Structure 1
């Protein structure tokens, strides 16, 4: 070195930070000797990667001259330093000549640049660690989740490539904007952003662009609902589908309490059916309500084991019985015993059972606390009730209310109990079977229906007095198929509604053109299997990631997206759907909570420079209008969704409201907001049996 500079001690360091002065000198010397070396280095380094301020200044001048097309050597650099009055700061002309003298060879400049960058990353890591420590000591007044999110952001910024400046003068922005315009012009109209798979929509938007938040909205499920008077068991008793609200607790198919994270509005004018089971239970559901049934392949096709699948009411109706003997095809498993905490009860359950099981106590009932006690307490109660029955697994009572309580008790313990009236007694039978069959599905006049979303992993909850396990709740998937399968762009789908297996089945159905109901009901033909085999390899190799973790927060989604960006070059994010997300913060209202989530999604898109699609629900506004067409103002729960979104696409299917519509099989993608272009309506074909939307031309 020809000049002596004092050591640089940056804030947050207790000792000299990691650096390699010789590597920095070799990088700059190589750039002064070779234009090719400059091209290699600028892809790896930026000015603030250099440890010494003098080296940062020299690097800035070299890249400035190179960008203008001027030669960058010791003479031209010295002249530029004189113009700026910075010669003394770098040590004069002698130091510039030293740089060219110390470099072993300009051909290795790229390798030296990587050494410099590694040292810069280590320094930033130390700085980030110091800031994170200060968050921990000084964050007593902040939410812990916010502090964790800030800490993750600090680590992410250590290796991200963008400049860390908060603001840039317009004069510096202009060249980059002009370069982008020239690049777009040079593509001759070729698409720039992530393709949606719909030609007219891509022509309108030129693809989905990095940093954009795109909202795709429709009425909920255009299905999946039960009648409002359907009883729903809870950890403390009963509620109904019409009364349940967000935050309430129901019972899952595994017997454990599960929280309601979303509820739909009351839906009207839906095709409805009575679903009758082999134990006499009848539940009214709409055509698209989902059930998890065990389908015996031997009853439907030749050979194959029994398996579980999620099917709609309509699909059950189409494959209800075996043709040759009318035997039921679909069976629904009996619930697991309710897993509830032990209660402090006034009388031991067994003694109460002995008392109620005797005679001479008219008007007696099983208290509600005993019916929702722990499994052990309820078993003791049932044992007392059955005591002295000569080994018979049945209970008889002259009074209907007491018999109803005993039936509820048996069902809560996982028995497929049934009750029959013999004329003078109500008899509860406890057969040793673990399933109930669907024996009939009958169309009935439409009634108001509603659906809920629960936060357990299998999306199941119990419905009806018999505690039947039932399921809660595709345009976003079509976008994902286009990006990941057709164009090889890394895509992640965060699904808070469907499980990963359901999504995979829908993707396979759409790609292989195999009817979804055939896949779910086990009625696939040899030709269907051949179609599936042809497409399965390409689908499996697609860079598509699926996360079906229930009740995800934006902090979790951000952390996972950052990891995917670093490891897999993430290009596209889909969140399904926005109203099911929750915030760990305490907010005044659900509207404020959704507003905060919406802002976080927009910030995620900008931070990672990827388009983010947020699937959203519309309120009941379209159903109350004559033409049923949705508008941006129909977005549920918060107007901030509309404000934050760069694009709002509203999905409208006329045949969802009018069965005899001349536009059956068509869907309108209404681009109701487009911050960077015109609005329009794009018509596509809806192939419900393949669970997909396609271009009208290809249709």
Structure 2
């Protein structure tokens, strides 16, 4: 399954023009060629081009012969045939490179289909694992992730310095805003590839915080996906309407709204409807989350934030007698998903009861429930704490602490925020 003529014409163009090499290397890798001899010629030509050597057939022949690879490349006559086969009115190298790349994708999809057929007959392979493997193959075919991603720092430094200057000039945002200015100042907003763990005891506001993070991204036009394992879509919409419309959540859930509340709810509807915020309340496994996220990104072209509520409610697709090992696998897979899709994955997590045995009740990293690997895999861990949860008449009623207990790329500190939870939100302190 290949267009061997297109491969041969492309190689002929590469040995005729260094500009053609420049165009093709942005599209192809050696793995995209169907014939092994074409892959050998490609890798030789690209290496010579990178070393500023001439890439005409005679020079390529000499390098191949010195490396003992000439026979594998089809012999010296084949090199000259490649050049001779370039049509007089040939298109650009990028055109032929895309043809070769297209056939490479088709082969990946076909091979994936064969594995699906074979795997479906093996009852020892879980169905979710089978589906996930197939979708991973197809995703790689679509976005080209199987191409090598190795870069020399010399090729990266200038772009990074330009990016840093743009940051200083205020021309690009530091990251996706959390919606809380003080938290943004501390962590710089969410960055692609991060796994963020907001953690707390039940009732501390993990879901409110995570939904707020997703809402903050969406209201800025950045696509966000919410996977709710605890609440239904209706319950999440109640919280969004409460937040955006500034309507007491209890009045919504108890059905005691008045006409003024309905008017505010309709106004909230008009704002929410324009946000790229999406909700899934059916996913139960990381494989299902990964599948949905991949399809979403392929369809919409971008995905800024994924919020999973919450991690301990995920179901494992493999049997294990130890829950801590299952949770450890969840965190590793979610971190891998963040890197794969270059998005921020925010996974809420429950803390154990150890903090309640301490005098001040403040949580610590060691309170993360079920698995120490959560601390290891996460880039940022935010522990939620409210004094008024334990003491209703405390001086800090209506306030909360976002304790940034781990920050892989920066400082840790405690951010004080307002907690008007009757509006299903956290806000900057003093709001």
Q: Give the TM-score category using the shorter length.
A: 0.7 to 0.9
Residue 122 of structure 1: CA displacement? Answer: 1.5
Q: Which has the higher contact order (CA 8 A, sep 6+)?
A: 2
Secondary structure, counterpart of 1:563 in structure 2:
helix
CA contact (8 A) 1:601 1:612 kept: yes
1:500 aligned partner: 233
Displacement of 1:217 in angstroms is: 0.6
Separation (CA, whole Å) in 1 of partners of 2:17 and 2:233: 53
* Secondary structure, aligned partner of 1:677: coil
Match of 2:166 in 1: 187
Could you tell me which of 113, 116, 133 is aligned with 2:100? 116
Structure 1 residues 492 and 616: CA distance shift in structure 2, 3 A:
same
Q: 1:502 to 1:136 in 2, by over 3 A?
A: closer
Q: Give, in whole Å, the separation in 1 of the partners of 2:147 and 2:27.
A: 16
| Aligned partner of 2:28 among 18, 41, 45 | 45
Unaligned runs of 5+ in 2: none
Shift of 1:92: 3.9
The equivalent residue for 2:296 is 564
Partners of 1:149 and 1:65 in 2: how far apart?
Answer: 39
List aligned pairs for 1:510-549, cutoff 5 A. Answer: 510-520=243-253, 521-526=255-260, 531-549=264-282
Alignment pair present for 1:475 and 2:209: yes
**1:635 CA drift (Å):** 1.5
Counterpart CA distance in 2 for 1:651 and 1:100 is 69
Q: 1:102 to 1:589 in 2, by over 3 A?
A: closer
Q: Per-residue deviation at 1:94?
A: 7.6
Asked if residue 596 in structure 1 is aligned to residue 329 in structure 2, the reply is: yes
CA 1:630 to 1:60, structure 2 compared with 1: closer, same or farther past 3 Å?
A: same
TM-score under structure 2 length normalisation: 0.83
1:55 partnered with 2:38: yes
1: CA distance, partners of 2:58 / 2:181: 52
Pair 1:684–1:20, CA change in 2 (3 A): same
| Structure with more of its chain in helix, by fraction | 2
Aligned CA RMSD, in angstroms, stands at 3.6
Match of 2:315 in 1: 582
Q: Please report how far the alpha carbon of residue 126 of structure 1 lies from its aligned counterpart in structure 2 after TM superposition.
A: 2.6
Q: Which runs of 5+ in 1 are unaligned?
A: 1-17, 224-472
Distance in 2 between the 1:73 and 1:110 partners? 17
Aligned residue for 1:630, secondary structure, equals coil
SS in 2 for 1:667: strand
Q: Cα 1:115–1:518, aligned 2, differ >3 Å: closer, same or farther?
A: same
Structure number with the higher strand fraction is 1
TM-superposed deviation, 1:116: 1.6
Distance 2:183 2:232 in 1: 28
The answer to whether residue 125 in structure 2 is matched with residue 146 in structure 1 is no
Q: Which has the larger radius of gyration?
A: 1
Retained in 1: the 8 A contact 2:44–2:64? no
Q: Report if aligned partners of 1:37, 1:107 keep a CA contact under 8 Å in 2.
A: no
TM-score normalised by L of structure 1: 0.53
Is contact 2:186-2:411 (8 Å) kept?
yes
Q: What do the CA deviations read for 1:147-182 (whole angstroms, capped 9, x no partner)?
A: 4433443343333422366x97xxx55446646643
Q: CA deviation at 1:529?
A: 5.1
2:306 to 562, 569, 573: 573
Answer with 139-148 or 601-610: which moved more: 139-148
Q: 1:107 to 1:198 in 2, by over 3 A?
A: farther
Contact 1:26 1:104 survives alignment (8 Å): no
Decide whether aligned partners of structure 1 residues 94 and 584 sit closer, same or farther in structure 2, where only a CA change above 3 A counts: closer
Separation of aligned partners in 2, 1:576 and 1:146: 22
